[in-house]
Structures are given as C-alpha cells and as structure tokens.
Structure 1
Amino acid sequence: MRRKIPSTQALACFEAAARHESYTRAAEELALTQSAVSRQVGALEAFMGMALFRRTRHGVQLTAAGADYARQIRRQLDAMERDTLDAMARQGTGGALQLAAVPTFATRWLIPRLPGFARLHADVTIHIETRTRPFLFADTPFDAALWAGTPQQAAHWAGTRSTVLMHEDVVPVCSPQLIAPRRQVGAQAVAKLPLLQQSTRPDGWAPWFEAQGVAAPRARSGPRYELFSMLAAAAANGLGVALMPAMLIETELARGELIVACPRPLRGERSYFLVSPAVQDERPALALWRDWLLGQAQAWLQAHPAAPDAAGGTRNAKYVS
C-alpha cells in the first residue's frame, strides 16, 4: 500500500519556514532560493488540502493547524536525522537503542555500568531519556523502558512484556556525623532523629517503623524532597536520616559520605522492571541489551541478599517475566 506521505524536501522546507516564519530565512538555511521554498510549501499545502501559512504584508504567519503540524513534523524529522546518523556511524552493523528510564536509577545504578556494555558491544549505541510513567511504545521512539512500579501496575501496562530486575529494598542512611561517635543505632534511636521525607511517598517511613515494632509519632514529619538524589544529598549533608534503596547510593556508601544508620532493610512495594513491546521478533540489539542488563542485575542481587519483608521473612529476588 502506498503511504500518504509528502516528500521529505517539502517537509524540510515547511519545518524551516515554520521555525523562522519566513521563506527567506528558511531558504538561507537550506541553501535554496526563496521561490523554491515557496513552491515546496505550496505543494505541501496542496497535498494536504489545507493552509499552513497565512500570507501577510510582512511575510507569512503559521495558521493554527500549521503550528500544530510543525511541532509534530519537527519531532519526526529530528528522529529521522538521529536514526540516519546512527546508521551512518555504525556502517550497517550493531544499531542504536532508545531507552526511557526513571532518572535516579538511570543516573546512579545504570550509567556507571554502561562502560562494561560498551566494551562488549561497541557497535550498539544507547540513548536514554527520562520517563517516570507508563506510555504507549507506538507513540514514542523508545525500544524499551527501565521503570519503577508495582507488579500490578506493570501487569496493566498494555501491549508490553516486563521483567523484574530487582526489588526496591530500603534502609535508613545518614551522614556519619549525625550519629557520631556511633556507627549504627537501633530503630528507636532512628525515630528520634530528623527524618527526611520523599514528597511522592509521604508514608514511606511508617511501614519501616511498623516492621521494627517501634512507635514513631514523627514518622510523617520532616523536610520533604521530590527525588531520591535530593534525599541522598540532604542526608549526606547532615540534614537527617533518609530511607533509601541501597542500589541508588552505592557511591556515597563507598566513599563514607553515607552510612547505614540501622541495618534493618525492608522490602518495599515497588520493583525495577525492564519493559519492552510484546512482539515476536525482537531486535538483536535489544536482545543483547536484555541479556546484559539481567546479568548486571543478577550480579548486584548476589552481592546484596534479599531484604526481609514486614513479616520478618524474605521474598524471592529471582527474575520473573
């Protein structure tokens, strides 16, 4: 079936003219004549059967429909250019993967491990953008997502397959100076310290204190920060004790900027998933990525035993699909 798509030359002329709202400046950018740009835009308007520009005494101005179409076309042209450059750089081998990821997990756990992937698969380029909520893969350029949520939420992400990478085990951490000269304290002592809160999880501390059998009237009090990275910085600077997933503060723990105030981890409700479209023919580059990522997660889990749950037992930390 023949696609109803205008020529890329017409789209490029229209996008440049829309961005500048000037045929003359678009022509200068594209190394064309002003009349050539005008003809291309006119051909595009005829193809679509609608006006994209209004002609004024001072030049041209986008119509409402033209402005909306320009925003969409600009994204598509940018994606085509990016994909073309990736293919040219790879000379037909390997490929590029577009990944959506929750920001702190990507910055603190994934990116420090990416050099290992690059050494094994130098012909595969990884692009990462931030996404925190489920989306439709068909409406985005993404090949896969690194996402945090509950198994129930993952099951309702339509048209996808998901694999658990690791569970979000949280533990109280703080600056060494906050509890000096002690290196660790009990749960009752933690309840008396300034508690740092995550604004998106206002009840984060309550389950931890309940699991320890400790009354904590101030469990919901304390300064609030939106991101885990903000919590880590606040804790490292002595503002209080934070309830953090250990996987996100490996650097601070290794440097001694943070210490585990009370070695009583708790299994949270959320897990980290690799999510991808549910298709039969998966891209080879994505299959390589999946295998490598699962190996990295497995190595981390082996080095960090599963945390106890609220009942005092442990939950299975193996991968499930």
Structure 2
Amino acid sequence: MTPRRFLPSISSLLALEAVDRLGSATAAAKELSLTHSAVSRQLKVLEGQLGVQLISRDGIRLRPTPAAREYCQSVRSCLQDLSRSSLKLKANPAGGSLNLAILPTFGMHWLAPRLRDFTERCPDITVNLSTRLAPFDFAQESFDAALHFGDRDWQGVTYLPVSREHVVPVCAPSLIDSPPTAPGELLQLPLLHLESRPRAWEDWFESYDHVAEGLHGMLFDQYSTMAQAAVHEMGVALLPSYLAQEEIEKGRLVKAFGEPVPAKGKYYLVWPTARPKRPSFEKFSSWIETVLELSD
C-alpha cells in the first residue's frame, strides 16, 4: 500500500493537470471555478508534499517544469480512470460491471443480438463495450476480456472458441456485366482489403487452388466501411457471409464469385490468464459457454 504522504489531494492534482493542459493558471482557474491565487496555493501545497519544484514562476505567470509535464501524463491517466469508474458506479449503483473489448462488426452481428439475454439473466451487471481492432496489453487496459479473431497468437490469455467465419467476395451489381467463370477473373477488378486481415484475398484464392500473391488495393480498418465502398462501386470486398447477406438482400451488393468459404482463423473470447476472474466475468463466460452449447 502506497504511504498516504505520497497521495496528493484531488484538488491539487486537478490544478496541476489544468495548468499543464490549458497553458496558464488563469485558464485553469476559470475551468475549475477558482481564483488565480487559489490555483497557485494548490500547486504550492503539492510541491511541498512531493518535495519537488513543479512550477516555474514568472510574476503571476505559472509554467509547469519539464518534470511536472511528465508527471502530468500519469496524473491525467489516473484522473480519467477515476472519472470512468465514477461514471460506472453512477450507471450501476448496485455494483457489478463487465468491460469488454469487441471487434465492431462481429460484436454488432453476433454478440449484440444475444446480449439482451445476458442482461435479463444478470440485471445487476452493467456491460461496457469498447472497440479494439488488435490485441493489446491487458495489464495496461481495464478490460475483463476481448473478442479476438485469428490464431492463438495473443500472449498471456486464455482462449474460448466462439465462432468460425465464412467469407464471400461481393461487389456492386453494376461493377460486373456477367458473373466471372473463374476466380482469377476477379484480379481484373480492384480488390478492397481489411488492414487486420492482410492475407485474406491470398487465402481466398488459395481455397480455389489459384495462386495470387502480393495483392494491393484500398485499405479499410473496418468491414462496415469496406462494405460501403463496395456498394459505391469502388471494388470487390471480401466480407463475412452474415454481413454480405444483408447487403445482398437489400440489392446493394451481389456475389462476385462462388459461395462463402471458411476464413483462416476463428473468433475467440480471450481474457488474461494471470488475472483472477471477477465475479461478473465468471457469470458472463459461463453464459457464453451456454450460448455456444445451445447453438451447437
């Protein structure tokens, strides 16, 4: 436990963070609804407590020292964490929260339709969802778990297989006069690529025993934006079958070739191995396993 003498008051930290961010004590005082002298006193108290000069004083002008600017990075992060925790407490006074990092398209189409069942079964748990497109360090984030696609290449996590993915090339109806008779004919059209799946097209061609290496084209960070680009005749998109089918039924896209084929990789629910499961996540992971058993 950190000695209390090293734990500054929130008021002092708010004053320092505001001066650093806004560039002046006058602006900080206005934001905090304090006087200029009150901000100055808070900073002096903080300096006395830490035994370090944090502010260069030029008359009434206050400037954070280089050491204070570095310290403020940690202070700002702590204040943001405290603010988020307070909002979660306000949203669910009874307690119990679950923080999930999701892949936006799969989260919206697979998890979201099922999530109401979980909230009805566990009304005391507030589920918070945030988008993460790539693996991250759980030690640096406040997430309990994450949805991950690919191989078992995320270090330090436990894996629960959730779903396979099938992909199909689609494009705007006006982009092709007649359906191609061979997969290689798609190479004559612009191919749209997802940043997180750099070899998706090569793998798709390989599934048809057609070699295609070093393919290039427009890059997108999410399936939803790539699908919209395909709708607007910008190229052929390799989309998950569940997303492609929606656009096909609306008449905005058509299959460019063949039927959906399995993508390399799987969707997993992952969580940090070294961290004990919180009770809220215990309930969620058990619920996920039940959902998977019923779907099988």
How would you bin the TM-score normalised by the shorter chain? 0.7 to 0.9
Question: CA deviation digits over 1:62-120, x for unaligned, max 9?
Answer: 22221222222122112212212221332223x33332233443455444554454444
Percent identity of paired positions between Structure 1 and Structure 2: 35
Aligned residues: 292
- 8 A Cα contact 1:193 1:241, kept in partner: no
Question: 2:79 corresponds to which residue?
Answer: 77
Question: 1:209 corresponds to which residue?
Answer: 205
Unaligned runs of 5+ residues in structure 2 are none
Change (3 A) 1:213 1:137: closer
Matched position secondary structure for 1:133: coil
Question: 2:135 corresponds to which residue?
Answer: 134
For residues 1-321 of structure 1, what are the structure 2 equivalents within 5 Å? 1-3=1-3, 4-93=6-95, 95-111=96-112, 113-151=114-152, 153-154=153-154, 157-158=155-156, 160-179=157-176, 186-188=181-183, 190-191=185-186, 194-198=189-193, 200=195, 201=197, 203-214=199-210, 223-227=217-221, 228-249=223-244, 251-279=246-274, 281-294=276-289
RMSD: 3.2
Change (3 A) 1:47 1:168: farther
AA at the equivalent of 1:258: L
- 8 A Cα contact 1:187 1:214, kept in partner: no
AA at the equivalent of 2:237: A
Matched position secondary structure for 1:269: coil
- 8 A Cα contact 1:98 1:141, kept in partner: yes
Using the TM superposition, give the Cα deviation of residue 15 of structure 1 relative to its aligned residue in structure 2, in angstroms. 2.1
Deviates more, 1:65-74 or 1:255-264: 255-264
Question: 1:318 corresponds to which residue?
Answer: none
Using the TM superposition, give the Cα deviation of residue 192 of structure 1 relative to its aligned residue in structure 2, in angstroms. 6.1
- 8 A Cα contact 2:147 2:268, kept in partner: yes
Question: CA deviation digits over 1:184-210, x for unaligned, max 9?
Answer: 664447536524131635543233233
> How far apart are the structure 1 equivalents of 2:91 and 2:202?
52
Deviates more, 1:75-84 or 1:259-268: 259-268
Using the TM superposition, give the Cα deviation of residue 52 of structure 1 relative to its aligned residue in structure 2, in angstroms. 1.9
> How far apart are the structure 1 equivalents of 2:101 and 2:270?
9
Unaligned runs of 5+ residues in structure 1 are 303-321
